[in-house]
Structures are given as C-alpha cells and as structure tokens.
Amino acid sequence: MKKDVVCGLGEIGMPILELISKSAEAVGYDINPRLSNEKKLADLDSIHTELLHVCIPYSEKFERNVLSLVSKFKPDAIVIHSTIKPGTTEKLQKKLTIPVIYSATRGIHKRMIDDLKRYQKFYSVYNWVQKSDWAKKIFVNRMKKAGVKTKIMSNPLALELAKIIVDTSYYGWLINYAQLSNMIAIKHKVDYDEMWSYADEIHKYLGNRPKMFPGFIGGHCVIPNLDLMDGDALKIIREINLDYAKILKKRRSLGKKY
C-alpha cells in the first residue's frame, strides 16, 4: 500500500497531515509516541512510502535526523516543510539518490490549515537530480488535491533564503523600525500614532510606508531564524529588540502600552 509519511507532528506537521489525508493515504510519525500513529506504523514493511514530509525543527542534528528517517521509511522522495539553514537541501541531496524537495511553510499555527490554503506553497528541487520531474509532479498533485496552490522556484537555495530574508527577518526588521521610531517618540515626548499618521496617505497610494506596532518581537520564528544565517548582518535585529525590551519594561511599569 502506497502512503505518505509526515514526520514531526507539531504545529505544522499536524495540519499538513490533516490536509494530505484528504487526498492520499497518510500516516503520522513523531519521536513522541503519544503523537505517532502507532497502529498504522506497526507493520512498516507493508508501507511503501511515496513522499516523506519532514516537519521537524531545525537543529545541528537536522541532517542526521532526516537521514535516519529516510532509512526508517525508505521513501521515493522527501519534502522538507521546515525552516532550515540555507544550503541544507543541497547537502542532503548530495547524500541521497532520491529527490529532496524543499517547500518552506508560511502561516501561523493558530490558523495553519487556512494559511496553508491561502498562500501558494513554494517548492524547489535541484534539477540535476534523477526523477526530480516525477517528484515535482507527485508533490504538486498532492497539494492540489489538498486545496493548496503551488509555485516553483528555480533552485532550493533561493527558497531557503527567501523564507528567512524576505519573510521572518524582514518582518522583524520592520518591527525594529517601529521600535526605533517609538524610542525617538518617547525621547521627544511625542505621540507615536500621531507621528506615524504622517505616513498614512503615502502608504495608501504608494504602499511603501507600512506602520508597524512597536511591540517586542517574541514567538519562536523571527528571532530564532536569525541563527540559521551565517554572518552578523542580521544580528542587529536581535540587538535592537533586546534594547527595546528594556524601554518597554520601564514603560509598562508606568502603565503605558508601548
């Protein structure tokens, strides 16, 4: 029996399993046995894994973990949905003969199913890999049947970088500007919202002056994803956020929102 296996049943893995299950036989696996579908996984030899969907968090052990999942499930192809260090797809691909598709995930966990259907799911696979056309076709078909639109990128590295540089870090950078502008507003005792009202019409007509909420950047995407990039260029986002946290703490003790 052909099946897809979704590995890592957390905030993105569970919704991805739910969506894929609508159109294909799919089974979930997690190192936490309480989350795994132990019954369906009991007889591994009877499962022919077509796509192995990787939804585990990135760590130093990521490549090793993926390779061991490949040995366990022997899939025809892999799809990585996690946010990963740029270059990881190529490194894995060079160690494997089956196609490795990278397909970054967009959305927030509270409404992940809706977000997965709302945004095109970008994907990419190195075109020098045997059976890459076959893998693309299977993946696109799987997503289409699950109600998810897809869009290809010319190579996985562009998509690995895009997920961080123009998604999470860019969002952090915009919030940084709100933080910096609020630090200046506080220093000069002017109202943040009033100051920013100057940009409203420009943003309305040109779309290039977004006003962000000057809060603290928390959560487990924007700041942790900075560590996936080599070099110091983006580290400033974390530094500004930490400086701003001190100011925010003082402001909150005075009963101010920000």
Which residues are at the interface with ligand NAD (CB under 6 A)?
7-13, 29-32, 35, 55-58, 65, 82-83, 105, 107-109, 221
Which lies closer to ligand NAD via its Cβ, residue 66 or residue 185? Answer: 66
Q: What is the CA radius of gyration of the chain?
A: 21
Whole-angstrom Cα distance, residue 135 to residue 141?
Answer: 10
Which lies closer to ligand NAD via its Cβ, residue 78 or residue 185? Answer: 78
Which lies closer to ligand NAD via its Cβ, residue 54 or residue 185? Answer: 54
Which lies closer to ligand NAD via its Cβ, residue 14 or residue 77? Answer: 14
| Least Cβ distance, residue 217 to ligand NAD (angstroms) | 15
| Least Cβ distance, residue 256 to ligand NAD (angstroms) | 30
User: Is residue 66 within 8 Å of residue 92, measured between CB atoms?
Assistant: yes
**C-alpha distances in Å from residue 27, one per residue of 7, 30, 79, 144:** 9, 10, 15, 19
| Least Cβ distance, residue 208 to ligand NAD (angstroms) | 26
Q: Which residue is nearest to ligand NAD (CB)?
A: 10
Which lies closer to ligand NAD via its Cβ, residue 234 or residue 248? Answer: 234
| Least Cβ distance, residue 147 to ligand NAD (angstroms) | 18
* Identity of residue 160: E
Locus of tokens 């009963």? 255
| DSSP-derived 3-state class of residue 2 | strand
| Least Cβ distance, residue 16 to ligand NAD (angstroms) | 9
Question: Which residue spans within the chain are E strands per DSSP?
Answer: 2-7, 26-29, 48-54, 77-80, 100-102, 121-123, 150-152
